[in-house]
Chains A and B, each alone.
Chain A
């Protein structure tokens, strides 16, 4: 049997199913080609390119001030952290540092972004595994953070708040009050999260022992972020290569050893508590001073190569700029966490059931525009 020149049933009796690009659990336009033996997964091949916007190529024609805005559209749940990575890379090239105030604002915004992203992930994981109500509770708390972003940065998701040398404008007078309220509420609500999903027997049965990723596989696929830390691989960029002053705040890197879906879930839940801890340390200690270092109107980087890595909610994002001394980059390359994490999907899901695939995808926390730039 053949459809469009491809076999539906292969010679050794495997059934080929296309999952996506419009499947609700793929959170975007991810197309997975799955080879099935009955209900057991034999092999998975992700097909990409549906949402390719050529952000890297586009950046070659934009100035060092302008190319940052496009990265908000890569991992749209961590737009602030993407912007920060680009700004840090440009600052590295210029040999300057952001002002102390800007650094603290960047960390605060980054951790709020991480919280919002993990909240959305928590809601979607519940939704993917058949629980609808978590989604609404997650959105309630995320809304509070989006409001903070809107008030200070001017936009809810694609903030474009970070500029080389600091941040675009100072924090809003209400920022501290609002953040404290949101954090206090969220801490109370986090126990609700546990009640709804963590202790649920059905949820545990669907995630425990499912989709195991060993530490060796995590290393060889370049998996980063909570997905790798759940397999026992210590890879938090904030700890290993601190930027923006993460070396001065206290927080723990969350590690687990099981490497299954439940471990990944628990890692992210614990990371939310760590983000809250970081925000609580800094919210009353924002140093006074300028929020932006003076830079020239037209930024020109010296000839050379500059690399900066940051920790997004999904893992390590790297920005690599090659400069030939002109006012726009010669080449920009992004190392996105989602792409490497997705590459491990086939290994994780092999031998599992098709229903487990949804649980695995949910706990890797895929954001498709990040994979396909």
Chain B
């Protein structure tokens, strides 16, 4: 005895298969409506969103000055210990001693891009960069020093 609705089941299966295939066929014949990005061939035109968090950077202006006072708020705010700030005492023009940064060490390998250090910085000395291709062969290359050699703090930034 045949199973009840045997042919009906076959009919329905084929019908639902065709419904699905009609849809995939539509996109097959309308390549303009697909959303694939040709990475990495589109590197030249690929622009990340302006808020995208790729790495911590410290912008320097033309005269090689940054805005970091060495207050270490970011170091305290970082949940992963990715920031280490080594400070030094500097004597300024009036002969007063002042705290300044010696080395701003950033461990990209330990950073989770949580943005907490950026929010914590009182002088907006650091921000998030949009670079995202960070793969390297040697882990030690991920330890970065963000203040450029010979740079100093912008005057007036407290």
Contacts and interface: CB of A to CB of B under 8 A. Distances in A.
Interface of A: 62, 65-67, 69-70, 131, 133, 140, 143, 147, 150-155, 158, 160, 163, 168-169, 172, 192, 195-196, 199-202
Contact of A67 (B48, B53, B77, B79): B79
A208 B34 CA distance: 33
A202 B10 CA distance: 10
6 contacts: A66-B116, A69-B116, A151-B51, A163-B119, A172-B51, A200-B19
Interface of B: 9, 12-13, 15-17, 19-20, 22-24, 35, 48-49, 51-53, 77, 79, 112-116, 119, 128
Given A168-B119, A201-B9, A155 B23 contact: no
B3 to A, nearest CB: 13
B75 to A, nearest CB: 12
A158 B112 contact: yes
Given A62-B79, A70-B79, A168-B115, A195 B19 contact: yes
Given A140-B35, A160-B114, A201 B53 contact: no
A155 B113 contact: yes
Contacts of B48: 150
Nearest to B11: A201
A44 B154 CA distance: 65
B20 A133 contact: yes
A172 B50 CA distance: 10
A199 B9 CA distance: 13
A283 to B, nearest CB: 19
Contact of A69 (B22, B23, B51, B114): B114
Contact of A150 (B17, B20, B52): B52
Contacts of B114: 69, 158, 160
A200 B9 CA distance: 11
A235 to B, nearest CB: 32
A127 B24 CA distance: 15
Nearest to A156: B52
A133 B21 CA distance: 10
Contact of B16 (A70, A140, A168, A202): A202
Given A153-B51, A160-B114, A66 B23 contact: no
Given A151-B51, A152-B51, A192-B23, A199 B16 contact: yes
Given A195-B23, A199-B19, A69 B112 contact: yes
Contact of A154 (B16, B22, B51, B77): B51
A154 B79 contact: no
Nearest to B15: A201
Pairs A-B, 9 closest by C-beta atoms: A66-B79, A69-B114, A154-B51, A154-B53, A200-B16, A201-B13, A151-B49, A160-B114, A201-B12
Nearest to B8: A201
Contacts of A133: 20, 24
Contacts of B51: 150-154, 169, 172
Contacts of A143: 35
A154 B128 contact: yes
A65 B115 contact: no
Contact of A160 (B16, B24, B77, B115): B115
B20 A195 contact: yes
Contacts of B116: 65-66, 69, 160
A142 to B, nearest CB: 11
Contacts of A131: 20
A76 to B, nearest CB: 12
A15 to B, nearest CB: 30
A196 B52 contact: no
Contacts of A70: 79
Contacts of A195: 19-20, 22-23
A194 to B, nearest CB: 10
B122 to A, nearest CB: 10
A147 B48 CA distance: 10
A181 B80 CA distance: 37
